[in-house]
């Protein structure tokens, strides 16, 4: 995936999440597998998101949108 395409998908994404994505991609490259499935990267980010307290209620269905502080 080209960087311009990635940046399009990340438009409006918080800096902390972009940093997590950069860390994951860097780790994949370091491990010699830069083209690892996008699904595995998405799963890793999803797991990180589930751990965020401001999104917990959103993910468990008790509210219709994430906290405004997210």
What's the per-residue H, E or C state across the chain? CCHHHHHHHCCCCCHHHHHHHHHHHHHHHHCCCCCCCHHHHHHHHHHHHHCCHHHHHHHCCCCCCCCCCC
Whole-angstrom distance between the N-terminal and C-terminal Cα of the chain? Answer: 27
pLDDT in tens, 6-15: 666 667 777 8
Backbone angles phi, psi at 10, to 5 degrees: -95, 5
pTM of the entire predicted model: 0.42
Domains of the chain, by residue range, sit at: 3-59
pLDDT in tens, 24-64: 777 777 777 666 666 677 777 777 777 777 666 666 666 65
């Amino acid at each position: 995936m080209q960087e311009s395409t990635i940046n399009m998908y990340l438009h409006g994404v918080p800096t902390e999440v972009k940093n997590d994505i950069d860390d994951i991609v860097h780790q994949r490259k370091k491990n010699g597998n830069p083209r690892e499935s996008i699904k595995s990267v998405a799963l890793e980010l999803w797991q990180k998101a589930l751990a965020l307290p401001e999104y917990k209620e959103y993910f468990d269905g008790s509210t219709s949108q994430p906290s405004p502080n997210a």
